[in-house]
Structure 1
Amino acid sequence: MKVSVVQLSPGSDKSHNISHAETYVGRVVRQDHPDLVVLPEVWTCLGGTTEQKFAAAEDIPSVGSTDGGGDAIAAVRRMAREHGIFVHAGSMAERGGDRLLNTSVVISPDGTLLARYSKMHLFDIMTPSGLGYRESDTYRAGEEVVSVSIEGRFGRIRLGLAICYDIRFGELFRKLREQGADLIVLPAAFTVETGSAHWETLVRARAIETQCWVAAAGTVGAHQDADGGTRYTFGHSMIVDPWGAIVAQASSGPGVASAFVDAALTQRIRSAIPVAEHRRLR
Structure 2
Amino acid sequence: MKISLIQMNSQPDRDLNLRSAEDLMRQAVERDTPHLIVLPEHFDWSGGTTAAKLAAADHAPGGEAYRMLQAFAARQKVWVHGGSLLERTEGSKTYNTTVVFDPQGNEVGRYRKVHLFDIEAPDGKVYRESETVAPGDGLFIYEAHGFRIGCAICYDLRFPRLFDALADAGVDIVILPAAFTMQTGKDHWDVLCRARAIEHQVYFVACGQWGGYTAADGDRRFTYGNSLVCDPWGQIIARAVDQVGIVSTHLDHARVRAVRELIPAASHKVSFTEPVRAPRNCGSGECCNCSSCGSHEQLVGARNSSSGNTAGEP
**TM-score of Structure 1 vs Structure 2, range by shorter chain:** over 0.9
Partner of 1:18: 18
Q: What secondary structure, in the 3-state scheme, does the structure 2 residue paired with 1:221 have?
A: strand
Q: 2:249 aligns with which of 246, 259, 262?
A: 259
Instruction: Provide the aligned C-alpha RMSD in A.
Output: 0.9
Mapping of residues 97-246 of structure 1, within 5 Å: 97-150=91-144, 155-246=145-236
Query: Aligned AA for 1:169?
Result: F
Stretches of 4+ moved more than 6 A in 1?
none
Query: Aligned AA for 1:13?
Result: D
Query: Aligned AA for 1:225?
Result: A
Query: Aligned AA for 1:177?
Result: A
Partner of 1:92: 85
The alpha-carbon deviation at position 281 of structure 1 amounts to 2.8
Query: Which 5+ residue runs of structure 1 have no aligned equivalent?
Result: 62-68
The alpha-carbon deviation at position 144 of structure 1 amounts to 0.2
State the alpha-carbon separation in 2 of the partners of residues 281 and 176 from structure 1.
Answer: 15
State the alpha-carbon separation in 2 of the partners of residues 56 and 214 from structure 1.
Answer: 30
State the alpha-carbon separation in 2 of the partners of residues 255 and 248 from structure 1.
Answer: 13
Q: What secondary structure, in the 3-state scheme, does the structure 1 residue paired with 2:271 have?
A: coil
The alpha-carbon deviation at position 38 of structure 1 amounts to 0.2
Q: Work out which of the two has the higher radius of gyration on C-alpha atoms and give 1 or 2.
A: 2
Q: What secondary structure, in the 3-state scheme, does the structure 1 residue paired with 2:270 have?
A: coil
Q: Percent identity?
A: 43
State the alpha-carbon separation in 2 of the partners of residues 160 and 280 from structure 1.
Answer: 22
State the alpha-carbon separation in 1 of the partners of residues 75 and 186 from structure 2.
Answer: 36
Mapping of residues 271-282 of structure 1, within 5 Å: 271-282=261-272
Report the count of equivalent residues. 271
Q: What secondary structure, in the 3-state scheme, does the structure 1 residue paired with 2:206 have?
A: strand
Q: What secondary structure, in the 3-state scheme, does the structure 2 residue paired with 1:176 have?
A: helix
TM-score, with length taken from structure 2:
0.85
Mapping of residues 33-52 of structure 1, within 5 Å: 33-52=33-52
Query: Aligned AA for 1:18?
Result: L
Query: Aligned AA for 2:76?
Result: H
TM-score, with length taken from structure 1:
0.94
